[in-house]
Amino acid sequence: MFGGMRRARLFSAAALVAVTAVIAGVAPAANAAGWTHISGTGSTWAQTALDWARRDVAASTGMTVNYSGIGSSAGRGDFVNGTVDFAVSELPFQSTPEYGGPPERPTRGYTYIPATAGGTALAYNLRVDGRNFTDLRLSGRTIAGIFSGTIGRWNDPAILADNPRVNLPDSAITPIVRADSTGSSASFSRWLSREFGDVWTAGSSSTFPLPRNGVAQSGSLGVSGYVAQSYGQGAITYVENSYATRAGLSTVKVLNAAGYYVGPTATNVSIALLGAAVDADQTQILDGVYDNPDPRAYPLSSYAYLIAPTEVGGIFTADKGRSLAEFARHFLCESQQRADSLGNAPLPVNLVRAGLAQAARIPGADAASLGIDGCRNPTFRSGETSISDNALTQTAPYPPACDRIGADCVTTDGSVWLEASVLPATDGDLSLSVPTGTTVVFDEPAIVDGRSVTTGSLPRFSVVDERHVSRPGYTVHSSVTDFISGSQTIPASALTLTPAVDAGSTASGLAAAPAFTGSSTGALFADAAPGGGIGTAVLTGGFRLIAPLDAEPGTYRARMTLTIVSR
C-alpha cells in the first residue's frame, strides 16, 4: 500500500512502479474477468494441439475455451447450426458433402484461420532379417501403387528400387485405411490424385476407397493401433504423425521434389508449408508444398483450419469475438512453441501472417494486438517476415547425403560410412522478470533549499537473454507518468533516475544508462550491445524527487513502466 506521513508544510511522495513485463510488440494479457467463455468442436487431428492451447491461454490470461474433438464434419455441422462459436476442420465447408448430408451453408459470415500444421505420416510395421525395420523409403508413385492395390508385396521391384541393398521380405502388404469420413483421408488422397493421378485414379475424397487386401479401421487411434499390434506385421497406414509417434510406429521417408527421402519431422513439415498459398476464400493451396524444392520439405504436409465467424449472430457476440481473436492469436504465436513436442509442426511465417489478418476480421477483435512483430512463434524472430530467410530456414537440419535418391552408402572394401547428425544450435527467449504489484514508498522528505526532496530505490528486476546464436542484444527503457495527488500534479521531469547493474548479474556487455530525468515518452535505462547481454542481468536503480516550490503537501503517486526491446 502507499505510505508517507503528512507533516506541516512538508511534501511527501510515493512512486507506484508498474513493473509490468512488456516485450516489444506484445500486449499484456487481460484479466480473466475481461474474457468471455467460448466453445468449439471439430477435428480430432488437431485436438492435442487445441487442448494444449486451451490450457496455455487459460494459464496466461484466465480465458476459458471449451473444445470437443468430435470430427471435422461434425464440427462444421455444429458451426452451420450455430451451436458453437468456432469449429476446427482439415476441410472447408462442403457444398456436396461426401457423407451424404445436406450442403454445409453457414448463415453467418466466416473465415478460415490456419491453426494446426502436421504431416500425414505413412506408419508401418515391418521386420527385415528378424528385426524391426525402421528406415523404409518410398517414392510417392510407389505409395500410390500400394494404396491403389497395384503393389501388393514388400519385395516388389518398385519398393526395392527405393531401398537398394535391403533384404525386404516376400510377404504381403496390408494397407490400413480410415473407415470413416475424415480430413486425413481427404489430404492423403488429394496428394495422390494431384501428384500421381495416372496411378491413383480414385480422385480426392474424405472417404477412402478400400484397396485390395486392405483393412478399414475407424479413427486415427484405430488405424495406428491396428498397425502397432503383432497382427499388424506387414501393415502400412496413413495417419497424423502425432498418432504414429504415440503408437511407437516407424514412419516412411517420402521422396520429395528435391530428390531426398525425408520423414515427417516438425521442421520438415514447417519447411514444406513455406510453399503453401492461401486462396481468395482463405482455403489452402498445397501445390507449392507438394513440389517444394527445399531438400528438407516433407511433401505430405498440410494444416487444419480454425473456422471463425466474421459476423455476430445467434450465440456469437462481439465479446465472444474478442476472446476468439485473442485465442487465435495465442494459438498462432505462443502455443506453436509446443507443436513439435505434441507431434505437430509449428506454422511458418507465411501462414501466421495470413492467420493474424483473418483473426482481425472477427467482430470485437483488438486489431492492435494482432501484429506479427510481437508474435512469439518459434519459426521466426521479431521482424523476420521473409519466407526464405528466417529462424526456421536458418536452423532446420538438412537430410544426410545417404538419403538422396540414388545414393549408395554401402561399400565393398570393409569400410563403413560414418555420418553424424548434429542438432542445430537454437536460440532461446528474451524475457523481463519483475516483481508484480510492487509499490515503492519513498523515504521521508526533507526540505533542501526551500523545496521538498525525497528518495527511493527501484526493486531489483532481471532480464534473461538465452539467444546464444543470434546474440542481437537489447535495450531496456523506462517511462514515468506525472505524479498525482487529488487535483495536484508534479511533472515526471521532477524525478531523477539513476540506473545500476546489480552485482548478481551473470550477463556481460551490459551498461546502465547515466542518470536522467523522468519522462512519459520513455528513456534509455540500460543497453546490451550486439553480442552482449547473454545470461541474466539484474538491474536496479535509485530515485530522487525534487518537488516544485509551489507543490501542495500530500502523497503523490506515479506509475513507472519498464520495457525491453530486442535490437
Measure the CA–CA gap between 61 and 89, rounded to whole angstroms: 25
Range scoring the smallest mean pLDDT among 2-11, 111-120, 310-319, 520-529: 2-11
pLDDT at 198 (0 to 100): 95
516-517 and 495-501 as β-strands: parallel, antiparallel, unpaired? antiparallel
Nearest residue to 366 via CA among 35, 38, 24, 113: 35
Nearest residue to 468 via CA among 506, 430, 422: 430
Collect contacts of 511-517 with beta carbons under 8 A, ≥24 apart: 512/539, 512/541, 517/492, 517/493
Q: What one-letter code names the amino acid at 90?
A: E
Tens digits of per-residue pLDDT, 290-302?
999 999 999 999 9
Does residue 253 share a domain with residue 204?
Answer: yes
Does residue 128 share a domain with residue 100?
Answer: no
Percent of the chain with pLDDT over 70: 91
Identify whether the C-beta of residue 215 lies closer than 8 Å to the C-beta of residue 176.
yes
* CATH code, 226: 3.40.190.10
pLDDT range class, residue 48, cuts 50, 70, 90:
confident
- Whether residue 17 is predicted with pLDDT greater than 60 in this model: the reply is no
Does residue 549 share a domain with residue 535?
Answer: yes
| Beta bridge pairs of residue 38 | 65
- Quick check: is 517 in a domain? yes
The average pLDDT across 109-133 equals: 95
Pull the grid cell for residue 222.
484405430
Q: What one-letter code names the amino acid at 502?
A: D
Does residue 241 share a domain with residue 183?
Answer: yes
Question: Chain-centre distance of CA 515, in angstroms?
Answer: 40
Does residue 127 share a domain with residue 61?
Answer: no
C-alpha dist (Å) from residue 269 to 154, 273, 340: 27, 6, 10
Predicted TM-score (pTM) of this structure:
0.67
Identify whether the C-beta of residue 63 lies closer than 8 Å to the C-beta of residue 323.
yes
266-282 burial, b at 16+ Cβ within 10 Å, e below that, comes to: bbbbbbbbbbbebeeeb
Identify whether the C-beta of residue 426 lies closer than 8 Å to the C-beta of residue 395.
yes
- Quick check: is 276 in a domain? yes
- Average pLDDT over the chain reads 88
- Quick check: is 81 in a domain? yes
pLDDT at 420 (0 to 100): 66
Measure the CA–CA gap between 84 and 77, rounded to whole angstroms: 10
3-class secondary-structure state, position 242: helix
502-530 burial, b at 16+ Cβ within 10 Å, e below that, comes to: eeebebebbebbeebebbeeebebbbbee
- Whether residue 532 is predicted with pLDDT greater than 70 in this model: the reply is yes
Helix spans in 203-334 (H): 219-228, 241-246, 266-273, 287-290, 318-332
Write down which residue in 371, 395, 419 finishes a domain: 395
- Quick check: is 406 in a domain? no
DSSP state of 7: -
| Beta bridge pairs of residue 67 | 40
Pull the grid cell for residue 210.
478400400
**DSSP per-residue codes, 341-389:** GGTSB---HHHHHHHHHHHTTSTT--GGG--GGG---TTS-TT---SSS
Question: What is the phi/psi pair of residue 238, to 5°?
Answer: -105, 135
- Quick check: is 6 in a domain? no
Radius of gyration for the chain, computed over Cα atoms and rounded to the nearest angstrom: 29
Pull the grid cell for residue 49.
494441439
pLDDT at 96 (0 to 100): 82
C-alpha dist (Å) from residue 321 to 267, 273, 325, 465: 32, 28, 6, 35
Does residue 46 share a domain with residue 169?
Answer: no
Nearest residue to 23 via CA among 387, 350, 369: 369
Tens digits of per-residue pLDDT, 53-66?
999 999 989 999 99
- Cβ neighbours for 487, distance < 8 A, ≥ 6 positions apart: none
Does residue 133 share a domain with residue 77?
Answer: no
Does residue 339 share a domain with residue 386?
Answer: yes
Identify whether the C-beta of residue 114 lies closer than 8 Å to the C-beta of residue 354.
yes
559-566 and 137-138 as β-strands: parallel, antiparallel, unpaired? unpaired
- Quick check: is 26 in a domain? no
Q: Report which secondary-structure segment, H or E, holds 146.
A: helix 140-148
Identify whether the C-beta of residue 525 lies closer than 8 Å to the C-beta of residue 19.
no
SS3 readout for 398-440: CCCHHHECCCCCCCCCCCCCCCCCCCCCCCCCEEEECCCCCEE
Tens digits of per-residue pLDDT, 352-371?
999 999 999 999 999 999 99
pLDDT range class, residue 234, cuts 50, 70, 90:
very high
Where is pLDDT greater, at 28 or 555? 555
Give how many domains the chain has, as a whole number. 3
- Whether residue 240 is predicted with pLDDT greater than 80 in this model: the reply is yes
Write down which residue in 395, 417, 451 finishes a domain: 395
Where is pLDDT greater, at 532 or 142? 142
Write down which residue in 373, 395, 417 finishes a domain: 395
pLDDT range class, residue 468, cuts 50, 70, 90:
confident
Does residue 241 share a domain with residue 125?
Answer: yes
pLDDT range class, residue 8, cuts 50, 70, 90:
very low
Other CB atoms within a 10 A radius of the CB of residue 373 amount to 12
3-class secondary-structure state, position 498: strand
**DSSP per-residue codes, 442-489:** PPPPEEETTEEEEEEEEEEEEEEE--TTT---EEEEEEEPPEEETTEE
- Cβ neighbours for 389, distance < 8 A, ≥ 6 positions apart: none
Q: What one-letter code names the amino acid at 329?
A: R
Where is pLDDT greater, at 17 or 304? 304
Does residue 242 share a domain with residue 177?
Answer: yes
Does residue 485 share a domain with residue 384?
Answer: no
- Whether residue 237 is predicted with pLDDT greater than 80 in this model: the reply is yes
Identify whether the C-beta of residue 264 lies closer than 8 Å to the C-beta of residue 308.
no
Identify whether the C-beta of residue 142 lies closer than 8 Å to the C-beta of residue 181.
no
Q: What one-letter code names the amino acid at 323?
A: S
- Whether residue 328 is predicted with pLDDT greater than 80 in this model: the reply is yes
Range of the domain at 533: 12-21+429-566
- Quick check: is 72 in a domain? yes
- Whether residue 16 is predicted with pLDDT greater than 80 in this model: the reply is no
Question: What is the phi/psi pair of residue 336, to 5°?
Answer: -70, -15
Does residue 381 share a domain with residue 280?
Answer: no
- Whether residue 469 is predicted with pLDDT greater than 90 in this model: the reply is no
- Quick check: is 337 in a domain? yes
